[in-house]
């Protein structure tokens, strides 16, 4: 794709995916929104697999349905038809309560605007998903400190989001996303609100998580530079899916 250095260059070669098991199976998914009396199709017959340890970038113009697809895979939105099976669980068959429980243990979220709770410290923000587990206080502390060490922010754990830069806030958000060791990490425009240097830093971090920890990452991005970190890039256009390897 390009000869220029990519955010992943420092983190070793991309893993070979062919022999890896499929972890996400998206089968004939359709989704439409109702605007007044008009039905606007957003996703049409989406059908693809994601293998364990894959770093997938979903790209496409605004309104192409990439964020909707990400939300469906993350279990925060419902399909109109079709199914999504993640780690052997058909999440489209789960009810609201089961889905929330499933998200708590299987999905890590990274949002464009970080979505940290402003009244909680970095430590407390990262600890949030662990509140839903049966871990003891000491165990939670251990996990949080480790996650913050991974994103190189252990020294800022007592700081509030407002005391951190955008890049640092996104790193805290990544620590929060990985602290439960989820099955998949979903990221919606994780560099969309960052300057070039911070964006590079975030992509490097995500690459490291993918290559060193084998984390499966599904990322929506507009940024071709960010997409360079992915092994697989799929393009959505008017609700249809194409795909291309980088």
Partner 1 sequence: MALVVFVFAAILMLAEGLQKTLVDTGSWDNVVLIRKGSQSEVQSGIERLQASVIETQPEVAVGEGGRRVLAKEVVVLISLAKRGTDKPSNVIIRGVNEQSLAMRPQVRLVEGRMPRPGSAEILAGESVARRFAGAGIGETLRFGMRDWTVVGIFDAGSTGFSSEIWGDADQLMQTFRRQAFSSVIFKLSDPSAFDVFKARVESDPRLTVEAKRETRFYADQSEMMAKFLRILGLSLTIIFSLGAVIGAMITMYAAVANRTAEIGTLRALGFQRRSILGAFLLESLLLGFIGGAAGLFFASFLQMLTISTLNFQTFSELAFSFTLTFGIVWQALAFSLVMGFVGGVLPALRASRMKIVDALRTT
Give me the residues that bind partner 1 (CB under 8 A), please.
Answer: 71, 74, 76-77, 96-97, 100-105, 107, 109, 111-113, 115, 117, 128-129, 132, 176
- Quickly list DSSP for 157-196: TT--GGGS-HHHHHHHHHHHHHTT--SEEEEESTTTTS-H
- How many CB atoms lie under 10 A from the CB of residue 34? 8
Q: Of 30 and 71, which has the nearer Cβ to partner 1? A: 71
Q: Of 39 and 119, which has the nearer Cβ to partner 1? A: 119
Q: Closest approach of Cβ 9 to partner 1, in Å?
A: 32
Q: For tokens 């991005």, what's the residue?
A: 221
C-beta separation of 164 from 156 below 8 A: yes
Q: Of 103 and 211, which has the nearer Cβ to partner 1? A: 103
Half-sphere exposure of 212 (CA within 13 A, CB side): 11
Backbone phi, psi, residue 117, to 5°: -80, 115
C-beta separation of 13 from 55 below 8 A: no
- Classify the C-alpha dihedral 104-105-107-110 as positive or negative: positive
Q: Closest approach of Cβ 199 to partner 1, in Å?
A: 18
Q: Closest approach of Cβ 116 to partner 1, in Å?
A: 8
Q: Of 51 and 66, which has the nearer Cβ to partner 1? A: 66
| 27 beta partners | 83
Q: Closest approach of Cβ 176 to partner 1, in Å?
A: 8
Q: Of 1 and 132, which has the nearer Cβ to partner 1? A: 132
C-beta separation of 86 from 218 below 8 A: no
Say which DSSP state 128 is in.
G
Q: Closest approach of Cβ 211 to partner 1, in Å?
A: 25
Characterize 205-227 residue by residue with b for buried, 16 or more Cβ atoms within 10 angstroms of its Cβ, and e for exposed. bbbbbbbeeebbbbbbbebebbb
Q: Of 1 and 117, which has the nearer Cβ to partner 1? A: 117
Q: Of 47 and 101, which has the nearer Cβ to partner 1? A: 101
Q: Closest approach of Cβ 231 to partner 1, in Å?
A: 25
Q: Closest approach of Cβ 103 to partner 1, in Å?
A: 4
CA distances from 219 to 10, 11, 138 (A): 20, 18, 32
């Amino acid at each position: 794709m390009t000869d220029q250095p990519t955010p992943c260059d420092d983190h070793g070669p991309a893993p070979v995916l062919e022999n890896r098991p499929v972890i996400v199976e998206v089968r004939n998914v359709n989704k439409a929104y109702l605007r007044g009396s008009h039905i606007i199709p957003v996703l049409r017959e989406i059908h693809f697999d994601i293998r364990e340890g894959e770093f997938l970038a979903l790209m496409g113009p605004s309104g192409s349905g990439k964020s909707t697809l990400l939300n469906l895979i993350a279990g925060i939105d419902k399909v109109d038809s079709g199914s999504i099976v993640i780690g052997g669980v058909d999440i489209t068959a789960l009810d609201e309560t089961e889905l929330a429980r499933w998200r708590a243990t299987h999905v890590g979220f990274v949002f464009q605007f970080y979505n940290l709770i402003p009244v909680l410290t970095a430590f407390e923000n990262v600890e949030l998903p662990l509140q839903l587990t049966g871990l003891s206080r000491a165990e939670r502390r251990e996990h949080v400190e480790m996650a913050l060490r991974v994103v190189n922010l252990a020294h800022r754990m007592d700081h509030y989001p407002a005391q951190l830069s955008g890049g640092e806030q996104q790193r805290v958000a990544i620590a929060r996303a990985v602290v439960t060791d989820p099955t998949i990490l979903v990221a919606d425009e994780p560099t969309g609100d960052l300057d070039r240097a911070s964006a590079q830093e975030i992509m490097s971090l995500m690459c490291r998580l993918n290559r060193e920890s084998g984390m499966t990452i599904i990322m929506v991005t507009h940024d071709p530079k960010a997409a360079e970190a992915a092994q697989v890039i799929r393009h959505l256009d008017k609700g249809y899916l194409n795909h291309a390897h980088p």
